[in-house]
Every structure is written in structure tokens, then in C-alpha cells.
Amino acid sequence: MDERVVNFKIIRNIILILAVVLVGWSIRLQIVEGKKYSRLSEENRIRRIFNPAPRGRILDRNGVEVANTRPGFYVSVVRATIDDETLSALSKILGMSIQDIVEKSKIEKNVYNPVKIAHDISYEQLSMIEEKIDLFNGVEVGVEPLRHYPYNDLLFHLVGFVGEITCEEIEGDPGYVLGDYIGKMGVERYYEKILKGTHGIEYVEVDAKGKEVGKIAEKRSVPPTPGVDVNITIDIALTESISVYLRDFKKAACVCLDPKNGAVLALYSKPSFDPNLFIHGLNSEEWNTLLTDPSAPMYNRVTMSCYPPGSTFKTFIALAALDSRMSVKEKRFEPCLGLYRLGRRDFKCWKRHGSLDLINAIVYSCDVYFYQLGRSIGIDTIADRASRFGFGKRTGIDLHNEKTGNLPGRSWFEKRYGLNWTQGHIFNLSIGQGDLLVTPLQLACAYSLFVNDGKIPMPHVIGRNDTTYFATNISTEAIETVKKALIGVVERGTAMTARIPGIPVCGKTGTSQNPHGDDHALFAGYAPVDDPQILVCLLVENAGHGGSVAAPITRRIIEAYLNSHDHADSLASAPSRSNVQED
């Protein structure tokens, strides 16, 4: 066959094959996958702009705003169209490295979608960008609602803060987009779904450089739905007073409850942090400094820090003893001579009390009496009753990350120290020291049982129509006996610095031993005794004795609250010192 004919057939066949392939690809692109590529084309031409919804406000019990929304300017970039020259100029204006801008823009997979790289920029930065916006490729500025905390660091541990959402958080909830803010702590986190609202959507046409051309008439915009306002039970004026009374101390925790229903009137932890700083965003160095700060400003000491309760726990040893064996009410053990010997070890008391009955042992906080009382009722009775009082378990407050503390019982001691653990461990437990650990909130809730005939209300920071109570099943006679002693503690015992003339106060001092430094000062109590309106649990770290430090501050807190709510006609200053040694 002629060679030219062969070559012709080969070329013809190649052309036919290519034609078939081209036709096949055309069919696939236009018919089989036509919708897909049409959608991608539309996505490049049409951009969905999400208009963030303003978060709901957070208001205190009197309607005072403790978290609201303000407008702020943001900058976003489109990775597909931004160039090196624009990146360099933007870096200088924003004070961000080019690498940081690029890294932030990469969190969005679609290179044609804008990504917010800076929030709450200044008017000066905004003006500099606006002046050159026509020269900048892939740069946009806009206005967004930003969270604002008017009381700065005062309510940080309770209200919490919002921060920019992460990719992992978006995957867990499709209701968010990159650049959104989400509750990270406190009320902001616990009630996120209520506060966040729903985004609005606008559809705009963009050119090949990613710049907006105009709105798309055939696609209807959806307006944003603001989040729901939330009223919390906190009294901001009371919290401000607490911060003033604790201004001379570096570390402290204070929780105030309405003891009848568990409403949290104040929750204050010191040191704190200004949540407004999270709106701007902290760089890695700032985050590391904050997280490694030895004073732990991010840590909520009311719900997360665990301390030995000291002599405030003697109250519950007495309750356990009375409930299991009422005959101990008049019981007098060996007199207190300032120490008690167990084997070859001396267990000390803070002074010589002599012979005491149960009530006076509480009033004067005699360690020797409680060593003997704890040993007489035994570890099983102590652990059982203390568990009923809520120790060793979470209170159920509507905040995240609450700690359980530690309530050691027989099995715990055997696991920790072996079968040969000693009565010395019971001695320590009986005066609230050693391995026993509680949070200030747990201690406050436990003291509320004296107000509610043995029931403990679940603490809460959002107002409720009903209250959940936990029954302790402790006898009324036992409760009334210890309540009488707690009144005596303030009237003539270790907490005379908490006395308020005309207003009977009921409570107990404590000194929490600290192996890492000075002891912590404690007081837990409520007033007025006949119609309790406020229960205070105060712990001041490294401050010394409860009677000399925590009790007088608690008096001032109670006075401030009762005065502001017209619960007292006249409140005079109680004596700052007493002739009774502080516990």
C-alpha cells in the first residue's frame, strides 16, 4: 500500500480519536457535570456576605448592662487576588507580619472567599487603608458588631469572654463561619446558643480581582437576627464593693448567694483579666505570658480552686456527730491543754480551751475537742454525712469547668496510704485540714442548709422560676443546735469582727493551711439570722487568720448588700478587733 495512504489513515484515526475525546469531555463538562461547574462559576462571580448578628446583652439582676455590643472595623483579604505589594503595605499599616497575614488567610479553603485578618482596627488604620483601597488587590474593610465589657476585669470569671472561632469549633456547629466570635468561658460560653443570634446574608457580584461590583437583584438578602438578652442574678454594685474591700490583697475568692434559692449575688475571683483584650486578639507570646502567669488570672478560684476548708468544716463534723448520735451535744472530752497526744505525735490547738461542750467547742473553735469528736464518730460517718452536704461533688452551677474537690473516705485513705493509715488522718479531717479539699462555692452551698431546713439549693447565675434542692436528710434538731453555735461564733467567739449591731450574723471562721506559703483566711456565714438575705463565703489567700482578715471583710460585704436593699435601718461599724484569738 502506498505509504502516503498509510500516513493519511494514521492521521485520520488520530484526529477521529481526538474528536471523540473532545466531544466526550464536552458532554461531561456541559451535561454530566454542567451543574457543578455552573455552581463553581457562580460562586466565583457571586459572593455570600455573612452579616454577623449582634450578641444578646448580659444584664445584672437590676438591668445593668455587664456585656453589650459596639461597632468595630475589620480588615479581610482574598487570598486568590492579593499581591505581594499589597501584602507589604497592609503589613505596615496593621503592624502585622506578612507571614501572619498569609497564615490567617489560609484558614479559608476557598481562595476566593474573604478572610478577616484583623478586628477592631483604629480610625487611623482604617483611613490609611481607605486612601489606597483602589490600589489594594484583594483587601476589604467593613463594620462588625464587637463584644464590649463595660466593667473590664471585674466580672471576667463569671461573665467570661468571647474569642474568634476555630476551624474545629466550626466543624462542630455549621451555624458559624470563619471570623465569628464564640463564647469561650463563663456565661458567654454556657449560654452561647442563646446569646449568639443568627447571621444575615447578602449576595454581591464580584469581578475577577475579587472586588464587589454590586448586589445581586435576583437573590434576596436575609437580615441578621440578634441574640437574646440574658439576665443574670449578679448584683454588680455588690461585686464592685467586694473588689474595693479586697483591693489590698493579691489573691482572693468570694461568692455571695441568696441562701434561700441559690441565686448567685456575686462571684469574684482575684486576680482577673480584662476580657476586652481578647477582642483585638492576643498573639502567641501574649497568650503564653497569660497562661504561665504564676498568679493564674484565668483561673476561677470560686469554682476551680480547691483549698482545705480549715475550721469552717468543724461545723459539718458537728452536724455529722449530732445526726448520728445526739448524745454528743453535752459531751465533754478530755480538756484542751493546747495539744493532744496520739502515740508519739502531738496534735496542737491554737490555745488552751479547757473543758468544753460541743456548742462552745464550735464557738471557740477548739481543735482538741474536734480531734476527739472526729475519732469517736469515725471516718465512715464523716465521709457519709460530708457527701450529703455536697463535698466531693460538683454543685451543678451553670458554669463550665467546676471542680469536685476531694472528700477522702476509708477506701481513699487505704488506696493512698495503705491499710495502715492512722487516726491522725481523721484528726486532720476533723478540723478541715490534710487531704480534704473544697471549693469556695461548695462551702457556700453547704452553709445554705442552715437556711433551708437541711436542703441545699443548686446555685445558678441565670434567673429561674423554680429552684432545685438537694436533701441532706439531716435531723432538724442537729441543724438547730449547730446554728445556735454559729450565732455564738459571731457574738462571742472567733468571728466577733463580723458582728453588725442590730443585725444578727451566723457563721464560722477558718484558717486553711498552705504548704506553699502563708495560710489562707476563711469565713462563711449569712445574715440576718431570722430572715437570711445574703450568704457570703470569702477566702483570702496567704492572708493569715479568718477571724482577723476574712470575718471583718465579710461584715462589710453584708453591710453593703443590706444597706443597698433596705434590709436594715441602721448599720454601725462593728469592732475591728476582739479579745478572742482568731481562728
What amino acid positions are annotated as catalytic residues?
311
Nearest-angstrom CA–CA distance, 456 and 479: 13
Cell of 513: 493551711
Cell of 37: 461547574
Nearest-angstrom CA–CA distance, 226 and 174: 18
DSSP codes, 239-291:
HHHHHHHTTT-SSEEEEEE-TTT-BEEEEEEES---TTHHHH---HHHHHHHH
515's CB contacts (< 8 A; 6+ apart) are none
Nearest-angstrom CA–CA distance, 583 and 545: 6
Nearest-angstrom CA–CA distance, 312 and 327: 22
3-class SS of residue 257: strand
Cell of 125: 488604620
Q: Which of 207, 210, 193, 202 is nearest to 108 (CA)?
A: 210
Nearest-angstrom CA–CA distance, 511 and 542: 10
Q: Which of 253, 323, 230 is nearest to 550 (CA)?
A: 253
Hunting for cell 471516718 — which residue is that? Answer: 379
Nearest-angstrom CA–CA distance, 182 and 455: 36
Cell of 191: 449560654
Nearest-angstrom CA–CA distance, 190 and 199: 20
Cβ atoms of 93 and 125 closer than 8 Å: yes
521 forms bridges with which residues in the sheet? 511, 540
DSSP state, residue 548: I
